[in-house]
Amino acid sequence: MKQFRKMVYPYLVWSTIMIAVPMLLILLYAFTTQGNTVTKFLFTFKNFKRFLTDTTFLNVLYTSLRIAVETTLICIILGYPTAYVIAKFSEKAKLRWVLVITLPTWINMLVRTYAWTGILQDDGVINSFLSIFKIGPIPLIYTDFAVILGMVYNFLPFMIIQIYTSLTKMDYSLKEAANDLGAGPAKTFLKITLPLSMPGVISGITLVFLPAVSSFCIPRMLGGGSYVMVGTIIESQFLTAGDWNFGSAISLIMAIIIMISMYITKKVDKGEKVEGASV
């Protein structure tokens, strides 16, 4: 037991330096002004008030949440059927398809996103193909469509893998019992498969929504410089404007939103488990 505790110490030190200290610095900067005079301005809410009372920043927050929700819904719509079909394959086929789905994630996100800029350009692959039929060019790049497409492409594997994992862990004897009791395919899916796979759906929502709402790389590359989301504002405040106080306040607001989202998904997950147990 003592040896096990000693093995934990390096991780605790690493977590303190790389996670706890930066979070404390963000908290400190969020409640200070530009001068960083801690003793005088420690309890000011000026940075939070600036964000929550400016309609421009609120519109950016709304856009970020909307894009993240739309991305998550599309990932569920595309990811669930894909995971459901893969779960029905043989073991070798399952491993092969999981490899195909996860293979793009081995490539850096910047490279994958940059590839889409060439595909969606006015003279890119899609518009070049449409020009054969005398269509276009259709404006695809620097639009909501391009940003959502980039996010779905990057985050969809996380949704598929989570749902697939839940489906493969499911006790298929329950489906057989439902069929023996006269339940049709649709009723079996709604009463057995869907409730038992909801933990995977909830985990997938968490893994897609959280990075999507705070993303800044994809909106910048596929949305253009004029397309602003919360992640873009945070990046510009730290790296361009040099206003670490305001950037930290926005980061703290987003952290609170993310924690609320995680709490809601956790409550929904518990509710699904209770309902599934009662069924």
> pLDDT, tens digit, for every residue of 252-261?
888 888 888 8
- Taking only the tens of pLDDT, the chain with its 279 residues reads 566 666 777 777 877 787 788 888 888 888 887 654 444 555 678 888 888 888 888 898 898 899 999 999 999 999 999 999 998 888 888 889 989 998 888 888 888 888 888 888 888 888 888 888 888 788 888 888 899 999 999 999 999 999 999 888 887 777 777 777 777 778 888 888 888 888 889 889 988 998 888 888 888 888 876 677 888 888 888 888 888 888 888 888 888 888 888 787 777 666 555 455 444
Residue with tokens 């929504």: 209
Q: Is residue 114 part of a domain?
A: yes
With respect to residue 105, please indicate whether it lies within any of the assigned structural domains: yes
**124 domain residue, yes or no:** yes
Question: Rounded to whole angstroms, how far apart are CA atoms 138 and 141?
Answer: 9
pTM: predicted TM-score of the whole model, two decimal places: 0.80
238 and 23 Cβ atoms separated by less than 8 Å: no
State pLDDT tens for residues 59-72.
Answer: 988 988 999 999 99
CB-CB contact of 193 with 163 (8 Å): no
Identify the CATH number of the domain in which residue 162 sits: 1.10.3720.10
The pLDDT, as a whole number, for residue 257 is 84
Would you say residue 230 lies in a domain? yes
CA distance 148 to 154: 10
- Ordered DSSP codes for 172-197: THHHHHHHHTT--HHHHIIIIIHHHH
Examine residue 129 and state whether it is found in any structural domain, yes or no.
yes
pLDDT score at 271:
59
Residue 112 lies in a domain: yes
Give residue 268's pLDDT.
67
Tell me, what DSSP letter sits at residue 143? Answer: S
Peptide bond into 185 cis (omega under 30): no
Count how many domains the chain has.
1
- Cα gap 176→84, rounded to integer Å: 17
Contacts within 8 Å (CB) and 24+ apart, 82-86: 82/160, 83/159, 83/160, 83/161, 83/163, 83/164, 83/167, 83/200, 84/163, 84/167, 84/193, 86/160, 86/164
C-beta separation of 228 from 60 below 8 A? yes
Q: Please provide the DSSP assignment of 26-81 as one string.
A: HHHHHTS-TT--HHHHTT--HHHHHHHH-HHHHHHHHHHHHHHHHHHHHHHHHHHH
Cα–Cα distance, 151 to 75 (Å, whole number):
9
User: What pLDDT score was predicted for residue 36?
Assistant: 47
Confidence (pLDDT) at 39: 44
Residues in the chain: 279
Q: Note the pLDDT of residue 159.
A: 94
Domain membership flag for residue 176: yes
Q: What is the largest CA-CA distance in the chain?
A: 74
Q: Does the residue 98 lie in any domain?
A: yes
Q: Which domain holds residue 231?
A: 54-278
3-class DSSP state of 243: coil
